[in-house]
Amino acid sequence: MSALRLGLSRGCKAKMAAEQVEAMNMVKSFRVSDLQTLLASMGRSKSGLKQDLVVRALKLVQSECSPELLKSVRQLYETRFPKTSGWLAARRPEAVPVNYSSIGSTTRSLPQTQGADYLNGSIPKQPAAPAAEVKLVSLPFYQTLETLLPPTELIAQNNEKLQDSQCIFELTQSQVDQVRNSSEHRPGIKAVQVVLRICYTDSIGVQEDQYPPNIAVRVNQSFCHVPGYYPSNKPGVEPRRPCRPVNITPWLHLSTTTNRVTITWGNFGKRYSVAIYLVRVFTSAELFNQLKHCSVESAERCRERIQDKLRFDPESEIATTGLRVSLICPLVKMRLGVPCRVLTCAHLQCFDAVFFLQMNEKKPTWTCPVCDKPAPFELLTIDGLLSEILKETEEEVEEIEYETDGSWRPIRDERDKDRERERSNTPVYPLVDICVSEVNGHSPAHSSTSQSAKSGSGGASAASGGGVVVDLTLDSSSEEEAGGAGGDSSDTDDSQDSPSPKRGRYNYDKDLVTAY
């Protein structure tokens, strides 16, 4: 009996050891999200890089090989690789043998994944069900008309870092007619196109376009254009590559003839999927027309939003009585033409819709220029209230303030206020009258009026019609003598009312006359 128990015990230990080894192999094939789920379910930290997560999960399997842990590992593995069945079949899908004779002489054991027949160079009679559904994010400038090749994983054929994957497809006569009969945005650029999109192979959520390293696309033996890198103005920042759909239309056979596409890509551990679509391409002007007709927030609704923001909050220590909004677009530093903002943003500040769409047509980021949060096209709206304000205000007004009742008032520029203060503080001097007749032998060009023209000024003022004539051709000594001879009494009287500046402060040139 003891020998039987010993044999059973040894058998259980051997089975547990085998299960532990298979569990560790499964863990090595997990993605970051799978590793985080496993560690979190066992009460372990899920932060860190993938390498740290793998080491942490392997230590967990080695130290605590409980039935609950093994069950969690199995469920996560079967979720990722639903075609792999059996506990002892814990291996990466690359180990499943598939015949790839049509690729070339170099073959390798590879899985039968979604679209594998396309990549083999032959069109399947019935499309195979995808092992993991990869969903690409929808793009505002591209409307998908038909799917020519569903998202299909790029599979390495050997251990080389540079790989070539090939797919073929055919266009129907209807699809050919759509491309040929479509209008042209620019010479040679059709509105209906066949585009190639590449993304990460991940079934969780929607995937954005992402190019693999060393990408090159060859269509029917001709290399097509792939967007290059944006130069970076910041030191130490690597150039960024805009990953957008690749237009392969100019190199296709616009007929029912088979088209062959070869993707060259760098195999550095990450998994990528490729898809081909028939799409309609929109311009920024067409998107603006859609926005203008379908997404305009009324002025009444905008006022309600302002009142909600300015409503008194008894828990707040600071009462907000107004909100200032600039009429200058933060993108181009010019006055707003069509004020636009994102429905999910908390601020009232707007940006120009036309410039925003043009910017994303050239360099798609879809980020709010005010708060840097995501600004997808479907959440953009035109501010009806600010549109009315822009029509009612003058070009010089660059800022307004919303009141608690939903009304608004313009905020004048501080520079204009400073200029007005300077004008009010500057003393006003009378202009030179050049139309009076000659006095004392001098022409009007050499005469000037004094600051005050009172009745008690003397005979000279009476002769000139109420103004004292000053001979600017005389030197300073003669001016002082003239002032001492007949101007003492009048100057004394004037100083009691309003002191006049001394004549020497004008510093006019002897032969320079300013005419108004």
Query: Going along 6-141, which residue ranges are E strands?
Result: 135-136
Note the pLDDT of residue 111. 40
34: Cβ–Cβ under 8 A, 6 or more apart, which residues? 76, 80
Note the pLDDT of residue 379. 93
Note the pLDDT of residue 264. 94
355: Cβ–Cβ under 8 A, 6 or more apart, which residues? 329, 331, 332
Helix (H/G/I), strand (E/B), else coil: 400: strand
513: Cβ–Cβ under 8 A, 6 or more apart, which residues? 432, 434, 445, 446
- pLDDT tens-digit profile, the chain (516 residues): 555 455 545 656 666 777 777 888 788 888 888 888 888 787 788 777 787 788 888 888 877 777 778 888 888 887 766 643 333 333 333 333 333 333 333 333 334 344 444 444 444 444 444 446 899 999 999 999 999 999 999 998 888 899 999 999 999 999 999 999 999 888 888 999 999 999 999 888 889 999 999 999 999 989 998 887 776 667 776 677 778 999 999 999 999 889 999 999 999 889 999 999 999 999 999 999 999 998 999 999 999 988 888 876 555 555 567 789 999 999 999 999 999 999 999 899 999 999 999 999 988 889 999 999 999 999 999 999 999 999 999 888 999 999 888 889 998 765 555 555 666 665 555 555 555 554 444 444 444 444 444 444 444 444 444 445 555 555 444 444 444 444 444 444 444 444 444 444 444 444 444 443
Strands 399-403 and 351-352: unpaired
- Position 365, amino acid: T
Provide the token pair at 264: 């060259």
Contact 19, 65 (CB under 8 A): yes
Note the pLDDT of residue 82. 61
Angle at Cα 259 formed by Cα 254 and Cα 265, nearest 5°?
130
Distances (CA, A) of 464 to 238, 264, 447: 80, 97, 10
Angle at Cα 108 formed by Cα 102 and Cα 114, nearest 5°?
70
* CA gap 447, 510 in Å, rounded: 11
Quickly count: other Cβ atoms within 10 Å of residue 87's Cβ.
15
Contact 292, 150 (CB under 8 A): no
**Percentage helix, strand, coil for the chain under 3-state DSSP, each rounded to 5:** 35, 20, 45
User: Which string of DSSP letters, residue by residue, matches 35-58?
Assistant: HHHHHHHTT----S-HHHHHHHHH
Provide the token pair at 260: 């062959």
- Position 430, amino acid: P
163: Cβ–Cβ under 8 A, 6 or more apart, which residues? 154, 156, 157, 264, 265, 266, 267
* CA gap 212, 235 in Å, rounded: 25
Q: Can you name the residues that pair with 223 across neighbouring β-strands? A: 218
* CA gap 224, 36 in Å, rounded: 40
* CA gap 326, 330 in Å, rounded: 9
Note the pLDDT of residue 36. 83
Residue with tokens 């908390």: 346
Strands 135-136 and 206-207: parallel
Note the pLDDT of residue 94. 37
Residue with tokens 């044999």: 7
Note the pLDDT of residue 123. 43
Contact 30, 76 (CB under 8 A): yes
